[in-house]
Chains A and B, each alone.
Chain A
């Protein structure tokens, strides 16, 4: 069965430190890949997406992600974390469920805490 795995449930970093959030997927082909961020009590905000082409994609708020086909991974990175980055981050895969209908399958999320 297809799945999306975010191995880290909770990560704590110091402000100014670098960040990498891991995401692995299990699908037969290369799906569409997304990272979303959710602040407490809020909806999901799209950070970045990968459809094809350059495997390093830039997103909003200084985030980037790298697609590695050989590892079935799509890890999210930020060189210097700000306190406002504290939130929950979700990796998602866009799956064609047939007849042109898409649905997103999400990982369980990684909660990021930032120490001032």
Chain B
């Protein structure tokens, strides 16, 4: 089985712009979670989607949003980018809602200038 894929792998944006990141889960996996990784804050949970519905959300501002499609693929969007949004964004999938084991993709490295 192919693993979790994320596109693009690298992205450079400027402050004020918006960005959309994509995640394709492992085939058959229906739950997708997103995490932000920064040197200062470490790995932090952003949100989880299952059956096209956001099930859980971490402590991030409303500029961070996401969605999930009927084929379980997910996108996350960050509007009005700030320098502090520079991070590695990791997507993880699991077979079911509340799936205990999450499998991670390679991440998208976002640099905001």
Contact = CB atoms under 8 A, between A and B. Distances in A.
B69 to A, nearest CB: 19
A36 interface: yes
Interface stretch (A59-67, A73-81, A94-102): A94-102
B106 A42 contact: yes
B48 A108 contact: no
B101 interface: yes
Interface in B1-59: 4, 6, 33, 35, 42-43, 45, 48, 50, 55-56, 58
**Interface range for A:** 20 to 34
In terms of DSSP, what is the predominant structure of the interface of chain B? strand
B104 A102 contact: no
B8 to A, nearest CB: 14
9 contacts: A34-B101, A42-B107, A43-B107, A100-B55, A101-B50, A102-B48, A103-B45, A104-B43, A107-B42
Interface of B: 4, 6, 33, 35, 42-43, 45, 48, 50, 55-56, 58, 90, 92, 94, 97-107, 109
